[in-house]
Amino acid sequence: MTAERASFRQVVQRVLADSWPPLAEYASSGALPPNAERLRKVSRDLGWWDLEDEDDGFAFASIAIQELGGALGPGELLAGLCVNPVLPADPGGVACSWGSDPRRDAAPKLADGRVSGEVSWCLAAADDVERVLVFAEDDGEPVAVLVRSQGEGARLEEMSGSDPTRRFWRLVMDDAPLDEILARGDQATDLRLAVERRISVGLALDSLGIAKSALALSVAYAKIREQFGAPIGSFQAIKHRCVDMFVLVESADVLVEAAVASGDTQSGAMAKAAGCDAAAEVTRLALQIHGGIGYTWEHPCHLLVRRAKLNQALGGSARSLRRAVADGLLAALGTDIPARGERR
Amino acid sequence: MLDFTMGESAAELRGRLRRMVAEFFPADFLGAFTDDPADLAMTQQFSRKLAGEGLLTVAWPREFGGSDGSVWEQTVVREEMWAHHEPRGPQYMGLNWVGPAIMAYGTAEQKALHLPPIATGDAIWCQGFSEPESGSDLASLQTRATRVGDHWEITGQKIWTSYAGMAGWCVLAARTGPKDSGRRGISLFLIPMDREGITVRPVRAMLGPHHLNECFFDSVVATDGEMLGEVDAGWGVMRTALAHERVGIARYARCERLLWLLRDVLRHEWTDHDEGVRNDWASALVQVRVARLLAYRVVERQEGNQMVDLEASQARIAATTCDQQVAEVVSQLLGPRSLLGPAAGAPSHGAFEDHWRYAQAATVASGTIEIQREIVSRELLGRPAVG
């Protein structure tokens, strides 16, 4: 099994070398993000999009997702390999939100077959967003619906932010007719939780790949860049940073691997919080080690930082995820624990 | 004596500067360095306006076009300008250290030539120090000034040169001593950027457009009259300049303004956030105040003409890490909204995203945090014997 996974990782790396620009070239191309058509086709031909038809398929998909992350891969494959397998709809052109924060964004409302509200940070498994998966409320009951993004009452806006390597969309709905109801009630809630878990793990995998690339670039640079007549990697200040980065990467790696294997909500939340925090810190340290060159468009470092930062902010903050973990664990103590703000 | 509020006249000056900025700039102004040349032009006009009111070089002596104001007034100007995205554009280098260095080391001719245009806001200066192979190890710089007849010829390459594309003048550090003379063989030249042999290439970077440049010098002629200070004695001037530069940007002032903006942007959402978040917000504010007071300590010593290497580096460490701490708190509180650019309906016109990007470079620019720690440790520990 381990050998099979290792050889699959090599296949993914070969495909990326063949069908996706290397990091250095990607960074200087200016036209971001690169065209993903070839990678999309090759990955389909190789069956990556259907990996989960097999036992243990997500373990293999996760390898591809992580390697894609390290190569600043396209959002389509992240969405396609990670979230689409849990959607009960024909996933072509379906986008869903990777950045909803239920505390901030009120759930869209469904009434008389029409939806009003907003969902942001939508990522699609294709170039075009045809339909968007919306978790809405119908008179208080949770529903999962698909809404046409270009139809009546719907407007799709591109969201431009710090990370130019990935395209996100905001869907604004004003009495938009729904296309299809996927689930209601508990089934809708279960679907939402399944999607959110996949998003957590997907972002953690993407970030882990980013962190590994940032570490590799930094270690290589510390060996060749000379100041004060010696490679900067010979100075303790730099050595220790490299080791800190390595420890962060390895710690994230084991948590993410555990989350892929287990499939429960708690491990997903832990992996997302720790993995994305680790990548944000590792890429920050990578910038520090590279100095000025890391900020320039001639070097991929700044793109890794941007992606890691956005991943950290998407999919629920580390704070809310850790809180959910704590709430889950404390709930096991029974009902004697006072709720927040309550005193005994 | 450090006075946190700096008294009533300082408060008045703050109010006056804020009104001037609010009247002059649109609410979505994020600095001079954008793809819209109008932003730079606006900062040039504003600098002249400040100069007209005696506020550009407020602490300079009257004989050089200043207002004989106190360093504290200068500090208020510095804080308000940086807090509001530096509406003086690329001016601060000239008035912060190039001007004062010319006052201290320049000849009468250099003073007459250079100080008036800085005081009126007409001259833009850049600083040619860093080189591709001499970053943290600045004293190893290899741009060469060779004696040819009665003049110098300068050849070499500089990098990370802020404002080079818009500057009229450059303080250029070049080696006049032997190749391995380190800090003992560097001289400074005051060179017009339109002189033959100078090529500027913009470097696109995370900080945004027009910030950083590479400059190539190919047998650029300089006269003896263009040397600032004595031959081979440039390092002392650079050291003073770098100490000024380390507190010359009041980063903490923008940090504090952003924390208040954040308070207002979140409004009702504060009720959703638990105690930990409020704690982080307040901790960041404390760190901002620490950075401010450490900077005041440097200003106080500089005013007394004391060496400030340790204090300046310490203040720089505090200011740059607080820049990053504030960016973190913003990102925790605003989530992915904090990373929206100005075009995407971002809160406060993208000021938070702008700050995040800029803060990433804080611990590298003007001497990395590692070099700042070295400078502090040298005075703190001396050179302890090994073994």
- Nearest residue of A to residue B139, measured between CA atoms: A228
- Alpha carbon A311 to chain centroid, angstroms: 6
- Tell me, yes or no, whether A268 lies in a domain: yes
**Looking at the complex, does the CB of residue A155 fall below 8 Å from at least one CB of chain B?**
no
Interface of B with A (CB under 8 A): 130, 133-137, 140, 159-160, 203-207, 212, 269, 272, 274, 276-277, 324, 331-332, 335-336, 338-341, 343-344, 346, 353, 356-357, 360-361, 363-365, 368-370, 373
| pLDDT of residue A342 exceeding 80 | no
Q: What is the DSSP letter of B135?
A: S
Q: Report yes or no: A12 and A51 within 8 Å, Cβ to Cβ.
A: no
Contact A99 B335 (CB under 8 A): yes
Q: Report yes or no: B348 and B263 within 8 Å, Cβ to Cβ.
A: no
Question: Which A-chain residues 78-97 have CB contacts (< 8 A) with chain B?
Answer: none
What ranges in chain A are assigned the alpha helix state H? 2-19, 23-28, 37-45, 57-70, 75-78, 185-224, 236-262, 265-290, 301-313, 318-331
Contact A104 B335 (CB under 8 A): yes
- Write the CA distances from B156 to A43, A148, A343, B200, integer angstroms: 49, 59, 70, 12
Say whether both A55 and A141 belong to one domain: no
Q: What is the pLDDT of residue A339?
A: 58
Task: List CB contacts (< 8 A) between A161 and chain B.
Answer: 336, 339-341, 344, 346, 353
Q: How many domains does chain A have?
A: 3
Per residue in A100-150, pLDDT (tens digit) is 655 556 889 999 999 999 999 999 988 889 999 999 999 999 999 999 998
Say whether both A140 and A266 belong to one domain: no
- Tell me, yes or no, whether A320 lies in a domain: yes
Q: What is the pLDDT of residue A81?
A: 94
Please give, rounded to a whole number of angstroms, the shortest distance from the CA of B272 to a CA of chain A. 7
From A54, A86, A118, give the residue that closes a domain.
Answer: A86
Please return the burial class of B208, using the count of CB atoms within 10 Å of its CB with bins 0-12, 13-18 and 19+: middle
Contact B137 A228 (CB under 8 A): yes
Say whether both A54 and A127 belong to one domain: no
Contact B336 A340 (CB under 8 A): no
Mean pLDDT of the region A156-170: 87
- Nearest residue of B to residue A170, measured between CA atoms: B344
Q: What count of other Cβ atoms lies within 10 Å of the Cβ of residue B173?
A: 28
Q: Which domain holds residue A326?
A: 190-331
Please give, rounded to a whole number of angstroms, the shortest distance from the CA of B76 to a CA of chain A. 30
Please state, for a pLDDT cut of 70, what percent of chain A lies above it: 93
Contact B360 A295 (CB under 8 A): yes
* Cα dihedral: A146, A152, A153, A158 (round 10): 70
Please return the burial class of B24, using the count of CB atoms within 10 Å of its CB with bins 0-12, 13-18 and 19+: middle
- Nearest residue of A to residue B361, measured between CA atoms: A295
**Which token pair is A264?**
């429960």
From A152, A184, A216, give the residue that closes a domain.
Answer: A184
CA distance A43 to B331: 34
CA distance B356 to B337: 12
Per residue in A24-66, pLDDT (tens digit) is 887 665 556 788 889 999 999 999 999 988 888 999 999 999 9
Q: What is the pLDDT of residue A105?
A: 65
Q: Domain map of chain B by residue range?
A: 7-123, 126-232, 250-381
Mean pLDDT of the region A311-317: 92
Contact A163 B338 (CB under 8 A): no
Instruction: Please name the amino acid found at residue B59.
Output: A
Per residue in B172-231, pLDDT (tens digit) is 999 999 999 999 999 999 999 999 999 999 998 988 888 899 999 999 999 999 999 999
At A77, the pLDDT band (50, 70, 90 cuts) reads very high
- Tell me, yes or no, whether A285 lies in a domain: yes
Q: Report yes or no: A320 and B332 within 8 Å, Cβ to Cβ.
A: no
**Looking at the complex, does the CB of residue A162 fall below 8 Å from at least one CB of chain B?**
yes
Task: List CB contacts (< 8 A) between A237 and chain B.
Answer: 370, 373
Please give, rounded to a whole number of angstroms, the shortest distance from the CA of A158 to a CA of chain B. 8
Task: List CB contacts (< 8 A) between B343 and chain A.
Answer: 160
- Tell me, yes or no, whether A337 lies in a domain: no
- Nearest residue of B to residue A292, measured between CA atoms: B364
- Tell me, yes or no, whether A265 lies in a domain: yes
Give the nearest partner residue to B339 out of A162, A238, A291, using CB atoms.
A162
**Looking at the complex, does the CB of residue A305 fall below 8 Å from at least one CB of chain B?**
yes
Please give, rounded to a whole number of angstroms, the shortest distance from the CA of B214 to a CA of chain A. 12
**Looking at the complex, does the CB of residue A339 fall below 8 Å from at least one CB of chain B?**
no
Say whether both A178 and A236 belong to one domain: no
Query: ipTM more than 0.95?
Result: no
Q: Would the CA dihedral through B298, B88, B77, B80 be positive or negative?
A: negative
Say whether both A254 and A289 belong to one domain: yes
Say whether both A298 and A218 belong to one domain: yes
| pLDDT of residue A242 exceeding 80 | yes
- Tell me, yes or no, whether A147 lies in a domain: yes
Please give, rounded to a whole number of angstroms, the shortest distance from the CA of A331 to a CA of chain B. 19
- Tell me, yes or no, whether A10 lies in a domain: yes
Please give, rounded to a whole number of angstroms, the shortest distance from the CA of B299 to a CA of chain A. 28
**Looking at the complex, does the CB of residue A160 fall below 8 Å from at least one CB of chain B?**
yes
- Write the CA distances from B372 to B136, B246, B308, B368, integer angstroms: 10, 10, 12, 6
CATH architecture of residue range(s) B126-232: Beta Barrel (2.40)
Domain B7-123: top CATH class: mainly alpha
Q: What is the pLDDT of residue B289?
A: 96
Give the nearest partner residue to B269 out of A104, A284, A302, using CB atoms.
A104
Tokens 């005051």, residue located: B190
- Nearest residue of B to residue A30, measured between CA atoms: B204
Contact A291 B368 (CB under 8 A): yes
- Write the CA distances from B22 to A56, B16, B54, B333, B371, integer angstroms: 61, 10, 19, 27, 38
| pLDDT of residue A243 exceeding 90 | yes
CA distance A259 to A270: 8
CA distance B34 to B13: 28
- Nearest residue of B to residue A310, measured between CA atoms: B336
Helix (H, G, I), strand (E, B) or coil at A170: strand
- Write the CA distances from A125 to A77, A231, A297, integer angstroms: 6, 44, 27
At A165, the pLDDT band (50, 70, 90 cuts) reads confident
Q: What is the pLDDT of residue B300?
A: 87
Q: What is the pLDDT of residue A337?
A: 59
Q: Report yes or no: B129 and B170 within 8 Å, Cβ to Cβ.
A: no
Q: Which of A203, A227, A304 to mutate to test the interface with B (most CBs of B within 10 A)?
A: A227
pTM check: above 0.90:
yes
Contact A295 B205 (CB under 8 A): yes
Mean pLDDT of chain A: 91
Please give, rounded to a whole number of angstroms, the shortest distance from the CA of B211 to a CA of chain A. 11
- Tell me, yes or no, whether A232 lies in a domain: yes
Domain B250-381: top CATH class: mainly alpha
| Residues of chain B falling short of pLDDT 50 | 1-2
Contact B339 A163 (CB under 8 A): yes
| pLDDT of residue A341 exceeding 70 | no
Task: List CB contacts (< 8 A) between B207 and chain A.
Answer: 295
Q: What is the pLDDT of residue A344?
A: 43
Q: What is the DSSP letter of A209?
A: H
Least confident segment among A194-208, A281-295, B180-194, B237-251: B237-251
Q: Which of A104, A163, A290, A309 to mutate to test the interface with B (most CBs of B within 10 A)?
A: A309
Say whether both A127 and A236 belong to one domain: no
